[in-house]
Amino acid sequence: MEEDHLKAEDLQHKVIPIHMNANFFFERAVRSLDRFRYDKALKYFRKAVEYEPENPVNHCNMAGILSEMGDYEGSNAVLFDILEHVDASMTECYFYMANNFANMENFEEAERMLVKYLEEDPEGQFLEEAEEMMELFQSELERPPVKVNRIRSREGVMEHEQARALMEEGKFAQAAELLEQIVQEQPDFLAARNNLALAYYYMGLFRKAKATIAEVLELEEGNVHGLCNLAIFYQHEGDTISLNPLLRMLEVLVPFHREHVFKLATTMGILGKHEAAYRHFRRLLKDSELNGDPSLHHFTAVAAFNSGRFREAGQCWRKLQKLDPASDIPGFYLDQLERFDLTGKQGYELSYHYHLPFEEQLKRWEKDESGLCEEVKTNPMIRSSFFWALRYGDKATKLQVIRALGWIADEEVKETLETFLKEPDEPAELKNEALRVLAEMGLEDTSQAILEASAASSSSMVAETQLAYTYQGGDTLQAVVDQALLHMDETAGREQKKHLQNLWYQFLGKLYPDKPIIRHTEGWSAALEYLTSKQHGGSVTYQEVAQRYGISPSTVSRYAKRIDSVCSLKEEKDDMFCPFTENV
C-alpha cells in the first residue's frame, strides 16, 4: 500500500502542468495552419481571443483565417468589430476589408474601404498594393476612381511636389511659404528643407538659405543635396576659403543613387568643374532608363564643350536631334559648333539650361510676340528664366526682360514688376521701363505710388545711416566715398555715382551699430567702384580698378567680397542656370 502511494506521489511530481493562455492557443493555431487545418486554426485563434480580448492581433488572425476559408462576410464582421471596439488605430483593417469585398465582387464597397485605408493609414505598409487595386477597380467599375483627398502615409509628399512645381515656374515666394509649412509639420523631411534653402536663394535671402542648409547638414552630415547647395552658396558669396575644401570632397564623391549623381553633375557644372560634370553626366547616359531623356544629352554636350571635348559635344547634340526632332536647340548648338573658332575660345562657356540662350530667344520673340506667349504657356522653365534674369542679370539683360514681360502681361508679371519697383538699388532707367510696361497694362497710378514710396524709403535709410555715423569717425567713412568718386571711371554717370554712395551707406547701415575698421581707404573705395560698375553692367576687372588706386587686385577682391557678404548683392551672372530641386 505504501509502495503504491509512493509511486502515485512520484508520478504527480513528473506531470507538467499546462498553462492555458493566449500564447498556448496561438502556437497551436500556427501549427494547424502549417498543416492546412484551417478549421482547427480558427478554433484555436477564437480561444486566443477569449483569453486576450483586448489584443487586436488575435482578432486580426481570426479574420485572416475566415478570409482564407472563404467566409469574407464573417471576416469583415471581425474587422469592423476591431475598429469599433478594440483598436481604432488598426487602419490596415480597411485594406483587409477591401480585399474581402473585392473577393465578393462588391467593387464599390471595396473601393470605399481602400480610400479609407489610403486616407487614414499613417504607415503605408500596403500602399503599393492599394494603388494597384485602385487601378483594378477602375477597370471593373468602368469609370474613373474615386478621388482620394489625401494619402496620409505620403503626407507632405504631395505638397512637396506642388512646391517643386512652383519653383520650376519661378514662383519662389509661394513655394517657400508651402515648404516652410511642410518643414514645420515634418522637421525630418530633408528634401523639403533643401528645396526651401533653394527657394530662399532664388529670392535673394542668402542668409536664410545658408541657415536652412546648416539645419539639413546638422540632421544628416553627408546629405548630398545639402552639400551641393552649400557649395553653390559659398561660390555666390565668393567664400573660396570655405568652398575649396568642400569642392575637393565633392569632386571625389561617387554617389550610388541616380538622383544624387544628377545633383552632383549639375552642381559641378554650376561651379565650373566641367570635367567632373561630364564624367557624372556620361555615367547617367549609361542608364537605360535615362538615356532617352533629351535634356540629359544636352547637359552632357554642354559639359563636354565646356571641358574642351568638342567632338563628343557634337555627338551628343546629334543624338539629341534624333530624340527631340521638333526642338531648335540641337540644331542651334551644332550650327554654333561648326562656326566656332575652337583654337582661341578655350575660356568660353555655355549655359546648361535646356533651351536656347536667352539672347537668342529674345531675338526670335521680337520677331514673333505670339511665339513668346506660347513658349511661356507650354514651358514653365522659360518663365522661370525670365524672373531669374530680372533678378540676377546685367543691366542690358534686365532691360530686355522687362520689355519681353510686357508681351506676356499677366497677373504674375504685374506682381513681379511691382516687386522690382521696390528694389532700392535698381537703376532709374530700368524702373522707368517697368513703369511704362505696367502703364500699358493699365496699372500706372498704383505702380507710380510704389516707386515713390520705395524712393522715399531708400532716401530715409541713407539719411539715417549718415546721421548714425556723424559722431563715429564720419570723416573717415565719408572719405571712402569721396575717394571713389574722385577715381571713378569717366564714363560713370550721375546715376552710377549715386548708386555707389547708396551702396556704401547700405553697407554701413547693415553693420550698425558696429562699424568697419578703415585702415585702407583705397581698398574700400576701389571695391565700391568695382561692385557698382558690375551692378550697372560694366565689364571692369579687379586689375583695372586696382591700377587706378595703386593697390593689388587681391585687395580689391577682398574688400568687394566683404561688402557683398553684408549686402548680398545681385551679382552679374554669365548664365541663368539654377540649381536643380530635390525629389523626395
pLDDT tens sequence across 50-69 = 766 667 777 777 788 888 88
pLDDT of residue 469: 43
Query: Rounded mean pLDDT of 233-254?
Result: 86
**For residue 98, with 0-12 CB atoms within 10 Å meaning exposed, 13-18 middle and 19 or more buried, which class applies?**
buried
Q: Are the beta carbons of 576 and 353 closer than 8 angstroms?
A: yes
> Is residue 170 a contact partner of residue 198, using CB atoms and an 8 Å limit?
no
Report the pLDDT value the prediction gives residue 51, as an integer from 0 to 100. 64
Mean of all residue pLDDT scores within the chain: 76
Say whether 469-567 and 22-153 share the same fold. no
Q: What is the pLDDT of residue 213?
A: 93
Q: Determine the pLDDT at residue 461.
A: 44
**Mean pLDDT across the stretch 377-391?**
63
Surface-to-core class of residue 489, CB atoms within 10 Å of its CB (0-12 exposed, 13-18 middle, 19+ buried): middle
- Decide if pLDDT at 212 tops 90: yes
- Once rounded to an integer, what is the mean pLDDT over residues 38-43? 72
* The CATH homologous superfamily of the domain defined by 22-153: Tetratricopeptide repeat domain (1.25.40.10)
User: Higher confidence at residue 121 or residue 110?
Assistant: 110
Element at 454 (helix H, strand E) = helix 444-468
Burial 203-242 (b: 16+ CB within 10 A, else e): eebbebbbebbeebbeeeeebbbbbbbbbbbbbbbbbeee
Grid cell digits, residue 360: 537668342
Domain formed by 469-567, architecture: Orthogonal Bundle (1.10)
Q: How many CB atoms lie within 10 A of CB 563?
A: 20
**At how many degrees (to 10) do helices 224-237 and 258-270 cross?**
10
Those residues with Cβ within 8 angstroms of residue 568's Cβ, 6 or more apart along the chain or in another chain: 204, 206, 207
What is the domain partition of the chain in residue ranges?
22-153, 358-462, 469-567
Residue 581 predicted with pLDDT over 60 = no
Lowest mean per-residue pLDDT among 3-12, 300-309, 464-473, 553-562: 464-473
Per-residue pLDDT at 467: 39
Comparing 107 with 154, the larger pLDDT belongs to 107
What percent of the chain stands above pLDDT 90? 9
pLDDT computed for residue 162 by the predictor: 85
DSSP string for residues in 501-537 = HHHHHHHHHHHTTS----S-HHHHHHHHHHHHHHHTT
CA 381-333-276 angle, to 5 degrees, is 75
- Quickly list H helices, 271-379: 274-285, 294-306, 310-323, 329-339, 358-367, 369-378
pLDDT over 80 at 33, yes or no: no
Rounded Cα distance between 465 and 443, Å, is 33
- Pairwise pLDDT comparison (341 vs 571), residue with the higher score: 341
The predicted model gives 362-376 an average pLDDT of 57
Q: What is the pTM of this model?
A: 0.50
Residue (of 358, 362, 318, 352) closest to 338 by Cα position: 318
Q: What is the mean pLDDT of residues 117-144?
A: 80
Give the gyration radius of the chain's Cα atoms: 34
DSSP string, 380-443: HHHHHHHHHHHHHS-HHHHHHHHHHHHHH--HHHHHHHHHHHT-TTS-HHHHHHHHHHHHHTT-
pLDDT band at 98 (very low <50, low <70, confident <90, very high): very high
Judged against a pLDDT cut of 80, whether residue 211 lies above it is answered with: yes
Helix (H) or strand (E) holding 162: helix 157-168
More confident residue, 405 or 325: 325
- The pLDDT score that the predictor gives to residue 580 is 45
* Mutual angle of helices 172-185 and 157-168, in 10-degree steps: 160
Cβ neighbours, 10 Å, residue 27: 12
For cell 570632397, name the residue: 249
Residue 189 has pLDDT above 50, yes or no: yes
Burial class (CB in 10 A: 0-12, 13-18, 19+), 346: exposed
Question: What is the pLDDT at residue 574?
Answer: 34
pLDDT at 358: 57
3-state secondary structure of 565: helix
Write the CA distances from 453 to 214, 423, 450, 505, integer angstroms: 36, 11, 5, 19
Cis omega (within 30 of 0) for bond into 145? no
pLDDT, average across residues 227-247: 88
Residue 465 confidence (pLDDT): 43
Q: Does the pLDDT at position 195 exceed 80? A: yes
Are the CB atoms for 63 and 69 separated by under 8 Å?
A: no
Mean per-residue pLDDT, 442-471: 49
Residues 6+ away with beta carbon under 8 Å from 101: 72, 76, 107, 109, 110, 113
488-522 pLDDT tens trace = 766 677 777 778 887 887 777 776 656 677 777 88
C-alpha cell belonging to residue 209: 538659405
pLDDT score, position 144: 79
- The residue that leads in pLDDT, 448 or 108, is 108
Q: What pLDDT is attached to residue 514?
A: 64
Q: Is the distance from CB of 111 to CB of 134 less than 8 angstroms?
A: yes
